[in-house]
Amino acid sequence: MSAAHDQPTVVEQEQARQALQLLRDVDPAGETVDVTVAGTAESVHLPRAALDLIREVLANMAAGQGVTVVPAHAELTTQQAAQMLNVSRPHVIKLLDEGHIEYRMVGRHRRILASSLLAYQRTQLGTSRAAADELAALTEDLGLY
């Protein structure tokens, strides 16, 4: 199961910006935050992790990005993984064959856990940030910045 939202409209982007502005300042003292739905007297207790996820979804929508929520245990095809990484399917297969991303075979087809793909993505992001920091330091050392 996954929930997908295509590119948000301009109105949705503005609504997301406004909601995000309100939620940025919310810092629950405990592990939950109480949310009251307009027009009802009901209050919902959201876990802190859910609040963080909602903030992330709103930030992406405010930036005009489409959002897809996929459970960590979901199995992805190589094509879905390629789309999530914004690379070609053959490149994903190369990453799998080289052992960079864990996967399993289902018959002749490769299946990748969403959690494995996200772990690879986090590792790559960390490596990219470290390289950018090193490049910035070298630029400063050489007086080019």
Q: What DSSP string runs through the chain? A: --EEE-SPPHHHHHHHHHHHHHHHT---SSSEEEEE-TT-S-EEEEEHHHHHHHHHHHHHHHTT--EEE--TT-EE-HHHHHHHHTS-HHHHHHHHHTTSS--EEETTEEEEEHHHHHHHHHHHHHHHHHHHHHHHHHHHHTT--
**92 shares a domain with 56:** no
Mean pLDDT of the chain: 91
Q: Specify the number of domains making up the chain.
A: 2
Domain with 108 in it: 75-141
**Residue 113: which CATH number?**
1.10.1660
Instruction: Provide the pLDDT for residue 76.
Output: 97
Instruction: Provide the pLDDT for residue 1.
Output: 47
Low-confidence ranges of the chain (pLDDT < 50): 1
**57 shares a domain with 18:** yes
pLDDT in tens, 80-107: 999 999 999 999 999 999 999 999 999 9
The answer to whether residues 20 and 55 touch, using CB atoms and an 8 Å cutoff, is yes
Percent of the chain clearing pLDDT 90 (strictly above): 68
Q: Which of 23, 42, 69 is the last residue before a domain boundary?
A: 69
**87 shares a domain with 38:** no
